[in-house]
Each structure stands twice: as structure tokens, then as C-alpha cells.
Amino acid sequence: MMVVSHDTAAGKRPTAGGASGAGAVPQALARVMSYIDPRLERALQLSGDAAPRLLEAMRYALLAPGKRLRPALVLWAAEACVSPGAAGSSPTQAWDTAAGAAVAVEMIHAYSLVHDDLPAMDDDDLRRGRPTCHRAFDEATAILCGDALQALAFETLVGSLPAAVAARGLRVLAQASGPEALVGGQSDDLSAERGWLDRSGAPEGREEQVAWMERIHRRKTGALFRAALTLGGLAAGANDRQLAALDGYGRAFGLAFQIADDLLDAEGNEATTGKRVGKDAERGKLTYPTVLGLSESRRRAVALAAEAESMLSELPASADDLRHLASWIVTRDH
Amino acid sequence: MMVVSHDTAAGKRPTAGGASGAGAVPQALARVMSYIDPRLERALQLSGDAAPRLLEAMRYALLAPGKRLRPALVLWAAEACVSPGAAGSSPTQAWDTAAGAAVAVEMIHAYSLVHDDLPAMDDDDLRRGRPTCHRAFDEATAILCGDALQALAFETLVGSLPAAVAARGLRVLAQASGPEALVGGQSDDLSAERGWLDRSGAPEGREEQVAWMERIHRRKTGALFRAALTLGGLAAGANDRQLAALDGYGRAFGLAFQIADDLLDAEGNEATTGKRVGKDAERGKLTYPTVLGLSESRRRAVALAAEAESMLSELPASADDLRHLASWIVTRDH
């Protein structure tokens, strides 16, 4: 059977060891994956008007092995915002309400990876341990695959929520994907790497460099994390105070994630991370470890994770998954 | 002053000659351009978070000289759907209500041209008489420029209409831009050109070839025309019967447009069309003139234009601009 319900997946949760804290995260992410992957698959069951080669590439990109971190943020945020005891607001229902948003966010993420990997961009051959989309198919198909996933993301989101929430959520996701966020961050990042910056050029001084990196990452990766959390909250009917708490979590979490990612690139190995490591250093790119050193980078990541966790007390329901995720993200090895 | 109101532009309408029918279209399109271009410009006035190089490329692509045909379809459809005498429904107000949708549709169109021109796709150096985006900037920036314009299109659309209409309109635009329409048609078109079709391959027989071309063009160009008309209708509060009439117009108009475009490529010259001509034949691509011959292609285009016009009697207000456009599109020389 294709559809795995939240309850079924939860029922299969391994109990041995009683993992708690950050140790519980891999299992929690596995539950998200078994919930969301059939829904990603179903979102690609399109009419005969969809081009066959394009659809194959979209499936390849969207269902690639991955952590499903962004869908997890959507679903866990929704779950953390249901008012306990309110009618029609069990955790399972919270997931179901937010499922379309979770699919949409993963589509945006998958499209951005496909385009980032292109020869004209980062020129990567390997992604999540497999050939990148333009290697597995061809460059034109990879470009179109990204374009199609972006359009389908917005269509999926707007079709999954009541109109008023859909319109608000759409703006959130579009802004997070657009020239002021995801694409803008990527453009500035490339411009810095290629010496195209016509203004200040590469910044000098440690704190200036940190500020520069934060400005890139806040847009390039942070904005989509925050959008995921906001969308989960909106789907679950969160109020403004709760949305602000989720956003505060997202800000700190996003930065912690990025520092941890830089640390993995500096320290990790290719077999564990599934992508080529050390490429940042090869390119002479600014990263937290090169600017701050390894131990100061680690210290900041851990402090940010704690900051993220501290935001969660505002939320009405259990936010344990989000809490554990913040600790885990700075200790993971892939 | 940047903002040119509909009335001001209409006031400047040249009266000499009293052009009517298809002859009035260039002036009507000029009025659309003077109305919509300042709005395109304003839609790109983003926060400091937008990457400078990216924004420059977006402006280059979006404000390139062009006919603004799709915004015209949005605005004229809205104008044709206002109930005469109803409060708050003058033609000027119809344009203002639909302006965000018109901007959004032009953004989708501009993004698709930027990506279609890329080296891995059609590999064009010239577009609308100027260097293509990746020639004027670079390939990475062109990819990101298209990505950003797509996201901004959806954001602009949804921010310009009441939530219920926005949600419905968003679905229309996203479907027209996605794997079952614009991107799907482009993918199948490329696949045919490159011999990637793993099913039927290139069709044999005249009518099979015509059906194949129509299936490509219905998605690659037709779907966005139809979405433009539907969005104009939705913005103006059209009922289902009126929306069906607009869609019928759009179907016939889109096909007439494509046949005329093929004829221009076969017969036109580079100075008039602003793009390299004869490239279809160079590539051995199926076109209406190569399959049906010049005179039969012309006959079909004219018949389709008449069919499009015949749909307009359902609309409550003046649809003269749409009527004239259908005749003009099959007689234009650029």
C-alpha cells in the first residue's frame, strides 16, 4: 500500500533503547519520511499532458534520498500549534492539514538543488550519493525539471489549504523562494565567489565576514526553513504570537544548521555526507570554520541551537520534535 | 512621472486616421505598454535583500522591448467582463483590478524566454533585437533570473487580489506554467528535436504531425494565453459562462498565433522580427508551413482567428480590442 498514515508509522516506531533528546531525531525523521514520501509520489501523478522525460526527472529529484528536514519542520510546527483538547486538532490531523505545505516546501528545496548543481552554477556531479539531475538526464531537462517543480510547489500549496490561509501561505513561500531570499542569496553567493560584486567586494575583518556569511545564509537556506515553520503554523491555525515563536526558532535553527553544514564540509567525509567534501576550501569560499576556526564555530552552533529551543515555550502543544531537532542538527554527522 | 494612468494613456491616443479593426491594434498595444511597463518596473522595486546583479538581470529581461501581448489579454479580458452600469466597474477600474495579474503573467513569460534561450536549451544569442539574458550577463545569473521571476510572479498575483480570487487565479497560473503546460510542452518539444522520445518518436503522416504540433503548442504557448484571459476574467468577477467564452477565444487565438509565428519564421526577416529567422528549418523542426505548406497554413490561421472572434459575443462589455487582436495576430509582420 502506498499511503502510510501517521498513526501506522508511529505504531512502527522502534521502542528499544527509548532514545530521547537528539538521539530520537533519526527515528522521528524516518517517520516523517514514511509519511511524506508517498505524498511526494502522489503529487507527481499528473495528467498525460506532463512530458514523460520531464516527469521522470522530477521524480528522480524529488524522491532522492534525503533527510526531509523541511517537511519535518512543516509537520512538527503544525503539531506544536494545535490547541490541546480543541475539536478536530489531534497531532495526526495537524499533519494531514499541513501535508500539502510540506510537499510544496520539499518541491522548492528539490528544485533549488537541481538548479544549484548545474554546470553554470556549482557544477556538481554528485548529490545525495547519486548523479545530479543534469548528469542522470541532461542539462536542459534539469533546468526544466527545476522550473516545473517550482510551479507545482505553488499549485500544490494553494490547492491544499482554505483560500484565506492559502493566499497568506503562498506569499510566505513565494517570498522565501524569490529574489529577496533563496534566489537572492544564491546570486550574491555566486557573485562573491566569481568576483562580480561591484560594491564592497569580499569583506575584510572577522565580524564583517561573519555578517556577510549570515546575510547570505539567512536568505539562501534560512528563509526556506522559516517559511516551512510558518506554513506549518498557518495550516494549524497558529496565532501571531505562536508564529513569531516559530520564526524565532527558525532564525536560530537556520544559522545553527549552516554552521554545522560548514563544519561537516571541513571535517566530514564523502561516504558519510553523500557529497563531495572540502569543496568550500578548494574554492577559497568564506565559511564559518575558515573565518572563526573550528572550535568557535562549534561553540556558536551550540549556542544557536539552545537559542532556538528557548523559543518553543510559547507553543501550546508538544514541541519535543522541534526541540530535539535543534540539538541534533549541531551534532549530526551527515 | 513614472505612473501613467489608463486615462492619461488613452487621452494621448493618436486620433489621426481613425484606425479601426486590426489596424487599431498597434495603438491599443501601445496603450497597454504605457500602462503596464511602469507597473513592471515597480514590481521590481524590492528590498535591499534582493541581489543587485540578479535584480539588474530581472529588469533587463522583464522590461525588454516586446508586444506585452499577455498583459494585453489580461487587461482586455477584464475590460470585456465588467457589467455595464454596475457600480465600481468602469474599464479603467477593470484594468486596475487586473494589473497585478497582468504583471504576473508577463513575469512568467519573461522567465520562460530567459530559460528557453539558455545554451543548454535553444542556445539563442538574440532576443527582441538585443543580446539574450545569459549573453548580457552570464549563464548562472540567467538561470537565477528566471527562477526569481517565476517566484515573484506568484507573489505578485496573490498579493493583488482578494484571497478567494487569488487562490483560484494562482492555481490557473501555476498550472499554465507547470509540467502539464508551459514546461511540459517545452520539454516534449526539445525531446522531439533531440530524438529523446522513447515512445512514438516523430509522428508520420500530415494530420498526425499537425496533431503533434498542436499538442506541443497548446501547452508551450497556448496555456499561458488562456491563463491570461482567465485571470483577467476572474479579476473582473466574470461568471462561468464568460470564463468559458474567454477560454474558447484563447484556445483558437493561441493556435492562430502559433501558425502565424511559424509563418513569420519561414517568411519574415531578422530586422523586422528582432530574432534570428529560418532557425526552425535549420533544425529540421516540424512547423505548420513545412507540414501544411504556406497557403494552407495561412488559411488555417485566418479560420482560427475568426473562430476566436466568434466566442466574444458571450461577453457583457466591449470586447473590441480582443476582436481586433485576433485579426491582427494573423496579419502582423513582427
Residue with cell string 479601426: B20
CB-nearest partner of B186 from A139, A144, A196: A144
**What burial class does residue B333 get, using C-beta atoms within 10 Å of its C-beta: 0-12 exposed, 13-18 middle, 19+ buried?**
exposed
Stated pTM of the model: 0.91
Interface subset of A 24-43, CB within 8 angstroms of B:
none
The answer to whether B121 contacts chain A (CB < 8 Å) is yes
Q: Are A157 and A104 in contact (CB under 8 A)?
A: yes
Confidence of residue A12 (pLDDT cuts 50, 70, 90): very low
> What pLDDT is attached to residue A284?
64
- Measured between its terminal Cα atoms, the distance across chain A in Å is 30
The answer to whether A198 contacts chain B (CB < 8 Å) is yes
- Looking at residue B275, the DSSP 8-state letter turns out to be S
Average pLDDT over residues B117-141: 96
Interface subset of A 47-66, CB within 8 angstroms of B:
47, 49-55, 58
Task: Kindly tell me if the per-residue pLDDT of A311 is higher than 80.
Answer: yes
- DSSP code string of A22-41: GGGHHHHHHHHHHHHHHHHH
The answer to whether A199 contacts chain B (CB < 8 Å) is yes
CA dist B265 and B243 (Å) reads 32
Chosen for mutation from A150, A157, A197, A200 (greatest number of chain B CBs closer than 10 Å) is A150
- Looking at residue B83, the DSSP 8-state letter turns out to be P
- DSSP code string of A118-186: STTTT--SEETTEE-HHHHS-HHHHHHHHHHHHHHHHHHHHHTS-HHHHHHHHHHHHHHHSTTTHHHHH
In B117-239, which ranges are continuous DSSP H helix? Answer: 133-136, 139-159, 163-177, 182-193, 206-217, 223-235
CA dist B108 and B149 (Å) reads 7
ipTM for the complex shown = 0.90
> What pLDDT is attached to residue B286?
82
- Measured between its terminal Cα atoms, the distance across chain B in Å is 30
**Contact residues, chain A, for B226 at CB < 8 Å:** none
- For chains A and B, CB pairs below 8 A equal 188
| Cβ–Cβ below 8 Å for A184 and B143 | no
Give A24 or A13, the one with higher predicted confidence: A24
CA dist A37 and A145 (Å) reads 18
Task: Kindly tell me if the per-residue pLDDT of A90 is higher than 80.
Answer: no
Instruction: Indicate the range of A260-264, B37-41, B147-151 predicted with least confidence.
Output: A260-264
The answer to whether A201 contacts chain B (CB < 8 Å) is no
Interface subset of A 221-250, CB within 8 angstroms of B:
none
| Cβ–Cβ below 8 Å for A174 and B152 | yes
pLDDT digits (tens, 9 = 90+) for A132-153: 999 999 999 999 999 999 999 9
User: Which residues, other chains included, contact A320 with Cβ-Cβ below 8 Å and sequence gap of 6+?
Assistant: none
Instruction: Indicate the range of A55-64, B12-21, B96-105, B318-327 predicted with least confidence.
Output: B12-21
| Cβ–Cβ below 8 Å for A151 and B174 | yes
Alpha-carbon torsion B46, B48, B50, B53, what sign?
positive
User: Which residues, other chains included, contact A280 with Cβ-Cβ below 8 Å and sequence gap of 6+?
Assistant: A262, A265, A266, A287, A290
pLDDT digits (tens, 9 = 90+) for A97-121: 999 999 999 999 999 999 999 999 9
| Cβ–Cβ below 8 Å for A158 and B171 | yes
Distance from CA of B306 to the nearest CA of A (A): 27
- Looking at residue A83, the DSSP 8-state letter turns out to be P
| Cβ–Cβ below 8 Å for A179 and B55 | yes
CB-nearest partner of B148 from A54, A170, A178: A178
Distance from CA of B189 to the nearest CA of A (A): 9
**Contact residues, chain B, for A181 at CB < 8 Å:** 49
How far, in Å, are A213, B39, B107, B276 from residue B62 at the CA level?
A: 30, 11, 6, 20
Q: Which residues is A127 bridged to in the sheet?
A: A130
Distance from CA of B123 to the nearest CA of A (A): 11
CA dist B253 and B227 (Å) reads 12
Tally: H helices and E strands in chain B: 17, 2
CA dist B179 and A151 (Å) reads 8
Distance from CA of B225 to the nearest CA of A (A): 17
Chain A: residue nearest B158 by CA? A167
Confidence of residue B12 (pLDDT cuts 50, 70, 90): very low
User: Which residues, other chains included, contact B111 with Cβ-Cβ below 8 Å and sequence gap of 6+?
Assistant: A147, B61, B145, B146, B147, B149, B150, B153
The answer to whether B163 contacts chain A (CB < 8 Å) is yes
